Amino acid sequence: MADQLPNVPELLQTAVRSLGGAERTSQLTMASAVAHSIDTGEHLAVQAGTGTGKSLAYLVPSLRHAVESGRTVVVSTATIALQRQLVDRDLPRLADALKKPLGRRAEFAILKGRNNYLCMNKIHTGASEQPPEDELFDPFTVSRLGREVVRLTEWSSDTETGDRDELVPGVSDQAWRQVSVTSRECIGKNQCPVGEDCFAERARVEASKADVVVTNHALLAIDAITGIQILPDHDVVVIDEAHELVDRVTGVATADLTAASISAAARRCGKIAEEQDADRLEAAGEGWAGLLEELRPGRWEGLPDGAAPALAAIRDAAWSLRTAIGPAKPGMAAADPEAAAARNAALSSVDDVHDSAVRILTAFDEPDPAKRKDVVWLSSDEFRGSVRRSVRMAPLSVGGLLRSRLFAESTVVLTSATLTVGGSFDGLAVNWGLPAESSARPDSGTAIGTEAPSDASAFRWNSLDVGSPFDHAKAGIIYIARHLPTPGRDGLSPVYLDEIAELVEAAGGRTLGLFSSMRAAKAASEAMRERLDTPILCQGDDATGTLVKAFAKDEPTSLFGTLSLWQGVDVPGPSLSLVILDRIPFPRPDDPLLMARQQAIESHGGNGFLSVSANHAALLLAQGVGRLLRSTDDKGVVAVLDPRLATARYAGYLRASLPPFWETTNPEVVRKALTRIRDSRP
């Protein structure tokens, strides 16, 4: 009987013993809290530092609930690495360990978006898309693309899953698009001549039978935004790396409109519709390109002169083309799957163009910028020597979406090593669409014109910080270089380079340099290679994974880089004893989306700077600082070269988000500490 299942503490004890681990109070506390959340239906936010064993702490109560209730639990992660860790290592071992007490071996599966799997119909029919026009003139690109497609075709006969992440080495996005389809382009299992061999459908079938389904934040967002059920029925969602949730959901809900995408849609549709209809859309795209060339990049406060008629022309031409293509003929997919696939791809591309044009046209119907659904801006990006202009749209807030499509439908457990901002969970909670715990906090949820729910509503949630197994005050020092000038816009000044050189030399290498821009990372790398005898690696010299492995393998080696290293490096042991942050990672002042969110909050009397810019910086700071201690034996220094972390009004707010390291502003003390750590190495 289900009620005879052992309780969560007993199951956790069994799992820990079976896996050869040690019992941890923080892990038990978290597992019990997750179990309580599942039982009561109250949402839970748990901050669990590195080394807590948080994966086991949420998997054990999740598996128990799934076996007891017969309902699936969805676990969502932000990174492929964690997905693979859960499916390839944690869940198989845990399922074996708990087989006897649960009465059966729990089943689990991984599920991703359809475009992450090979499409056998596309492989068999040879249906593919043309590379962009600017790439057709690059012989290297064309030949590389051909080689990659051949390798993918050969791989399709060997792979059991068709999962792109299992292809090593990987291929370019352009090559992968030749052998995959989106959900909208798919002609459907029942209509597809090779539907029985569809890798995406196999994955969905496996997921439907699983107790735990591991997915990613992007697919979770697609499931919520589209209203089309992708994930199996579930009543509990566990979100690991929850500090990434808002950004990933925002990314899924962001669209753009470019001249190239309009032209591509016209070409696709021109193969199956009247030329004059496709030419009309092509002409509208050319008009759009001409308009964008005349405009300055940046956020749109309203439609620029000439934009409304240009967008209306795109909208009408796209709709006319879609109407001309018409409905699918009965039996078409079975009779001619290649033609059916081409039709679906054409419809998908023209629908995207139409919907984006409408979205921009209606974005400014609400006169109050703080109540608008979308932020619209013109971006200008350089690619292989040419400039690509696009108009992008992103939601001002995703709190309402998460509130109605996630928290209203499932019990949600959110966890990460960094969830408190300024010492409180509220900063992230209000962005998730949950009510603030503190009544003293201004309600930034009203920035989107929607009243955030109160604690008396159905959206009740609890928070818990289970701490860390590390003794931060004894294991680490946070050094703030108060004597340095405030960082400017002109790159690293000579005094900054001097400071970096002295610190790295004292540490004997063993340094992870986290910089706010690639320009700064490269400048520091070049300067240190001239000044120091220890090796310096820089992001971009090779694949990031390769660089991290080389850094971890050779103790005197240092690695410098930018944003992806702030969160993605896990190097325990003597190879890392110094983390350098060149400045507080505030968002760029020209980031249109974040600035719009900041202004929206300010317009309702909130503190936009703290709610957006400072929160953004605090999360990144916490992630960067968290690179230092990855095991209980680690010791070292985090050096923040930005004096504002000690002197600015908001400094205390930012430092409240960091682990309780011993603090100093004395460079001599730090250099001596680094020297002692270096000399203590065997």
pLDDT of residue 655: 95
b (16+ CB within 10 A) / e for 641-663? bbbbbbeeebbebbbebbbebee
Residue-level pLDDT at 445: 38
Helices (H), 70-138: 80-85, 91-97, 99-102, 120-125, 133-136
Residue 429 pLDDT more than 80? Answer: yes
User: Do residues 56 and 94 touch, judged by C-beta distance below 8 A?
Assistant: yes
What residues form DSSP beta bridges with 256? 392
The answer to whether the peptide bond before residue 169 is cis (omega within 30 degrees of 0) is yes
Task: Name the residue among 593, 597, 630 with its Cα closest to residue 612.
Answer: 597
| Residues 612, 599: Cα–Cα separation, whole Å | 9
In the predicted structure, residue 454 carries a pLDDT above the cut 60: no
The pLDDT-based confidence of 440 (bands split at 50, 70, 90) is: very low
CA nearest to 584, candidates 507, 629, 638 = 638
Q: Under a CB-based contact definition with an 8 Å cutoff, are residues 637 and 429 in contact?
A: no
For 562-596, how does the pLDDT look when each residue is reduced to its tens digit (9 = 90+)? 987 887 688 888 999 999 999 999 998 889 999 99
Vertex 358 angle, CA 352 and 362, to 5°: 145
Distance CA(49)–CA(61), nearest Å, equals 19
Mean pLDDT, rounded, for 415-429: 92
The residues with which 383 forms a beta bridge, in sequence order, are 386
Closest C-alpha among 633, 507, 425, 634 to residue 625: 634
Query: How far apart (Å, rounded) are the C-alpha atoms in residues 239 and 224?
Result: 14
What is the β-pairing status of strands 411-416 and 234-240? parallel
Mean pLDDT of 639-661: 95
Give backbone dihedrals phi and psi of 376, rounded to 5 degrees, phi first: -120, 135
Q: Place 384 in a pLDDT band, splitting at 50, 70 and 90.
A: low
pLDDT interval class at 280 (50, 70, 90): very high
User: Which of 441 and 235 is assigned the larger pLDDT?
Assistant: 235
Query: Which residue reads 């320009």 in tokens?
Result: 519
List pLDDT tens digits, range 480-525.
Answer: 999 999 998 878 999 999 999 999 999 999 999 999 999 999 999 9
User: Cα angle vertex 659, ends 43, 597, to 5°?
Assistant: 55
| Model confidence band, residue 682 (pLDDT cutoffs 50, 70, 90) | low
Instruction: Label residue 126 by pLDDT band (50, 70, 90).
Output: low
Give pLDDT, residue 372.
92
Query: What local confidence, expressed as pLDDT, does residue 383 receive?
Result: 67
Main-chain dihedrals φ then ψ at residue 462, nearest 5 degrees: -120, 160
pLDDT of residue 509: 96
CA distance 598 to 610: 9
pLDDT surpassing 70 at residue 3 = no
Structure tokens that stand for 513 in this block: 């340099």
- Say yes or no to pLDDT of 186 above 90: no
Query: What is the pLDDT at residue 333?
Result: 64
Q: Is the pLDDT of residue 141 over 60?
A: no
Q: Enumerate domains of the chain plus CATH numbers.
A: 6-106+209-246+397-463 (3.40.50.300), 112-199 (no CATH), 253-361 (no CATH), 470-678 (3.40.50.300)
Given the structure tokens 């930034």, which residue do they identify? 444
Estimate to the nearest angstrom the gap between the alpha carbon of 12 and the chain centroid: 30
Partner residues linked to 73 by β-bridges: 212, 236
From the number of C-beta atoms within 10 Å of its C-beta (0-12, 13-18, 19+), residue 368 rates as: exposed
pLDDT of residue 565: 87
Assess whether pLDDT exceeds 80 at residue 227.
no
Can you tell me whether residue 34 is helix, strand or coil? helix
Question: Looking at residues 353-360, what average pLDDT do you find?
Answer: 96
Percent helix, strand and coil across the chain, each rounded to 5? 50, 15, 35
Q: Is a pLDDT exceeding 50 seen at residue 2? A: no
Q: What does pLDDT average to over the chain?
A: 88
Would you say 375 and 394 are in contact if contact means Cβ atoms under 8 Å apart?
yes
- Rounded to the nearest 5°, which phi and psi values hold at 505? -65, -45
pLDDT, mean of residues 75-92: 88
How much is the pLDDT for 442?
41
pLDDT tier, 439 (very low <50, low <70, confident <90, very high otherwise):
low
Average pLDDT for residues 182-205, to the nearest whole number? 81
Tell me the CB-side half-sphere exposure of residue 589, using CA atoms within 13 A.
1
pLDDT of residue 459: 74
Three-state secondary-structure class, residue 382: strand
Q: What spatial distance separates the first Cα and last Cα of the chain, rounded to whole Å?
A: 56
Using a pLDDT cut of 70, give the percent of the chain over it. Answer: 93
What span, in angstroms and rounded, lies between the C-alpha atoms of 27 and 32? 9
Distance from C-alpha of 223 to C-alpha of 233, rounded to nearest angstrom: 11
| DSSP character at residue 46 | E
Confidence of residue 224 (pLDDT cuts 50, 70, 90): confident
CA 116 to chain centre: 16
How far apart (Å, rounded) are the C-alpha atoms in residues 187 and 191?
6
